[in-house]
Every structure is written in structure tokens, then in C-alpha cells.
């Protein structure tokens, strides 16, 4: 019984891997063969998500692939993020975290204030505004799905909020790596903090970090962006009870929620991988250096493969036709949320830079 359950995900996983391979092939042909670079300046992750969106919106996705694509987006993505931890040292995590937490708090408060004003001005449903705001400030679709039952959101409100976050998240994922490189003058710390706070989804932040690494050869930026986003994800544990309190004030029936069910446990896997790397460096770097370095390289490479597969799966699952039904008001709220997070992130990082100087 369990074997059948897991076998159904294989076609979708294989499809995501095929699209990853195709993206890698296109990348090599365009960047190396045609443009003549030793290493392609084009991001494989970007090609994967664009190809996925292209094929996903031209062809009707068969039922046999959908479960595997969902599995890739949910689990293989998280495995890829966990494997990124092999690149870090514990003190780096603590160092970046101490900078990222105040930045995240400022961004969250700013968006909540703006959303509150927009609810009054645009007269959009309060539930939808809450879903868009928590998706923009914390962790995208995951936050929306976790918050929806707490505030009693309707199906169409959930769908609109997810479509909203998907649209602006993909837009920022594709544009922000290049904008940040220009604006922050290729500084890895500031770019990583910006990408980690200004882009909605964990997958989108990971992809933006990967795009930046592949375009500008900066693994440190990808590490900082990932750490910042993972810390941001943990704020879900605070934000959902807060939203439940704000929305259900004065109402007779209150929705139940479990903090354990909403905690992003893959963050712990990421930290465990950091610890594994540092224990390995202590015990194996001198005695089994070649084997240990090979293991690290394999995990790093696997991480990028898994993340790119997830990008392909997300692209294949993104239905652009659904966005037509949103109407302009939720669209406007989503755009303003994205802009607010981006602008506040930039201003806060600028204050941090000026404080240090």
C-alpha cells in the first residue's frame, strides 16, 4: 500500500528532473557555446522556472504528474534548502541572524500598517488582505495556507492570495538579484539581507540566491539570503496567533490552531547540516580530507539540483490564466505589499550601513 502511495509521485519528480536537465543543457549551449564564456553567465534556475511556466501554460498537466510536482515543491525543495547548510559555519549563522532579525521585524510591522490602511481605502475583504500581508511578510504560500483556517478564509480568497503572492514573488525573484547587485554595489551581506527579506516564498529566495550565485559567483550572498529567509519563516509561530487575535477580536467563535503544526521544521534540518559540516571539518579534514571534501561537494551540488528541480515544478504549476480572475484591487494590494517590503528593506539596510560608518 505504501509503495503505491510513493510510486505515484515518481512521474512528476522525473518530469522536474528532465526539465532541470533541459535547462542545464540550454544554459550550456547559450552561455558557453554561443556566447563563448568559460562558465555560463545565465542562471539555470531562471531558465528552469521560465521553461516550466512556458510548458505548464501551453499544455494541460496530466493528473499523473501533479502529485509528483507537488512533492517536488514541498519536500525536494526543503531538502535542497537543508543541504545548503553544508556551506556554513555556526558563527556565520549567528552573525547574519543578529543583523537579519531587526530588519525582518521592521519589514513585518511596516507591511501590516500599510495593509491596514489599504483595507480601509480599497474596501477589500479583511481576510484576503490578512492573507496577502502574511504571505508578503513571512513565508508566502505556506503562511497563507496556515493562516487561512485560523481566520476562516474562503477558498476563493485563499486562491487569490496565493496567485497574488506567486505573481509578485516570481517577478521579484527574477528582477531583484540584478537590481540588488547594482544598488548595493555587489556587497554580499547587503544583497543577501535584501533578497532574504524582500522576496515572498522560501523557494523564490533560494532561487534568487542561486541566480545571483550563478550570475555573479557569490556563494556568500546565497547563504545570507537563505539564513535571513529561514529566520523570517520562524516568525510564522508569532504571526499566526497575532492574526488570530486581531481577526477574531469580538467574535464569539475562535478558530483553533496548533503552534507545533505550523513550525517550519526544515529550519532545524538546515541548522543540523551546519553542525554536521563543522563536526566533519573537526574530525575528518585532516584524516580523511579527500573523502570529506568529496562529500561536501556532492551535497552542495545536490542542493542546487534539488532547488532547480523545485523551480521547474513551481513553473509547471503556475497557471497564468488564474491571475486574470483576481481583479485589480487584490493585485494592487499585492504590488504595494511587495513594494513596501522592498523599500523598507532597502531603507533599513541603508540605516545599518550608515550606523556602521
Whether the CB-CB separation of 201 and 188 falls below 8 Å is answered with no
In whole angstroms, give the CA distance from residue 120 to residue 149: 23
Residue 269: exposed, middle, or buried by beta-carbon count in 10 A (0-12, 13-18, 19+)?
Answer: middle
Estimate to the nearest angstrom the gap between the alpha carbon of 74 and the chain centroid: 11
pLDDT string in tens for the chain (357-residue length) = 545 667 888 999 999 999 999 988 888 887 777 766 666 666 777 788 788 888 888 888 788 888 899 898 888 888 888 887 787 766 666 777 778 888 888 888 888 788 778 777 777 777 888 888 888 887 777 677 677 777 777 767 776 777 778 788 888 988 999 999 999 999 999 999 999 999 988 778 888 898 898 888 888 898 899 888 888 887 877 777 777 776 666 454 455 556 566 566 777 888 888 888 888 888 877 777 788 889 888 998 898 898 889 888 888 887 777 666 656 777 787 888 888 888 999 998 988 888 766
pTM greater than 0.75? no
| C-alpha cell belonging to residue 326 | 483576481
Residues 6+ apart with CB under 8 A from 329: 122, 123, 124
| C-alpha cell belonging to residue 234 | 520562524
| Backbone angle region of 50, left / alpha / beta, with phi > 0 → left and psi within -120 to 50 → alpha | alpha
Distance of CA 71 to CAs 23, 42, 57, 78, 353, Å?
20, 27, 20, 10, 41
Closest C-alpha among 271, 273, 267 to residue 298: 273
HEC string of 243-285 equals HHHHHHCCCCCCCCCCHHHHCCCHHHHHHHHHHHHHHHHHHHC
Q: What is the DSSP letter of 59?
A: S
For the residues of 72-111, what is the DSSP string, one character each? IIIIIHHHHHHHHGGG--HHHHHHHHHHHHHHHHHHHHHH
Amino acid at each position: 500500500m505504501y509503495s503505491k502511495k510513493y510510486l505515484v509521485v515518481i512521474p512528476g519528480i522525473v518530469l522536474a528532473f528532465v526539465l532541470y536537465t533541459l535547462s542545464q543543457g540550454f544554459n550550456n549551449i547559450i552561455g558557453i557555446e554561443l556566447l563563448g564564456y568559460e562558465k555560463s553567465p545565465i542562471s539555470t534556475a531562471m531558465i528552469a522556472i521560465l521553461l516550466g511556466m512556458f510548458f505548464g501554460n501551453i499544455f494541460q498537466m496530466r493528473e499523473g504528474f501533479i502529485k509528483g510536482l507537488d512533492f517536488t515543491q514541498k519536500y525536494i525543495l526543503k531538502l535542497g534548502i537543508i543541504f545548503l547548510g553544508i556551506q556554513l559555519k555556526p558563527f556565520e549563522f549567528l552573525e547574519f541572524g543578529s543583523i537579519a532579525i531587526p530588519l525582518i521585524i521592521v519589514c513585518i510591522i511596516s507591511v501590516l500598517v500599510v495593509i491596514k490602511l489599504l483595507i480601509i481605502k480599497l474596501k477589500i475583504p479583511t481576510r484576503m488582505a490578512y492573507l496577502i500581508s502574511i504571505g508578503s511578510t513571512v513565508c508566502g504560500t505556506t503562511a497563507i495556507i496556515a493562516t487561512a483556517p485560523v481566520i476562516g478564509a474562503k477558498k476563493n480568497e485563499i486562491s487569490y492570495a496565493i496567485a497574488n503572492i506567486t505573481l509578485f514573488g516570481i517577478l521579484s525573484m527574477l528582477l531583484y538579484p540584478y537590481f540588488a547587485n547594482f544598488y548595493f554595489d555587489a556587497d554580499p551581506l547587503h544583497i543577501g539581507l535584501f533578497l532574504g527579506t524582500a522576496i515572498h516564498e522560501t523557494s523564490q529566495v533560494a532561487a534568487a540566491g542561486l541566480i545571483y550565485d550563478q550570475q555573479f559567483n557569490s556563494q556568500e550572498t546565497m547563504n545570507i539570503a537563505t539564513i535571513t529567509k529561514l529566520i523570517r519563516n520562524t516568525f510564522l509561530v508569532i504571526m499566526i496567533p497575532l492574526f488570530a487575535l486581531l481577526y477574531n477580536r469580538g467574535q464569539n467563535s475562535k478558530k483553533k490552531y496548533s503552534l507545533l503544526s505550523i513550525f517550519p521544521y526544515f529550519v532545524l534540518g538546515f541548522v543540523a547540516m551546519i553542525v554536521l559540516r563543522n563536526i566533519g571539518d573537526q574530525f575528518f579534514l585532516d584524516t580523511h580530507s579527500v573523502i570529506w571534501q568529496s562529500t561536501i561537494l556532492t551535497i552542495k551540488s545536490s542542493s542546487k539540483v534539488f532547488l532547480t528541480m523545485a523551480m521547474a515544478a513551481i513553473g509547471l504549476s503556475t497557471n497564468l490564466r488564474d491571475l486574470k480572475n483576481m481583479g485589480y484591487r487584490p493585485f494592487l494590494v499585492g504590488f504595494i505589499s511587495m513594494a513596501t517590503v522592498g523599500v523598507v528593506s532597502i531603507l533599513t539596510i541603508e540605516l545599518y550601513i550608515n550606523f556602521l560608518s
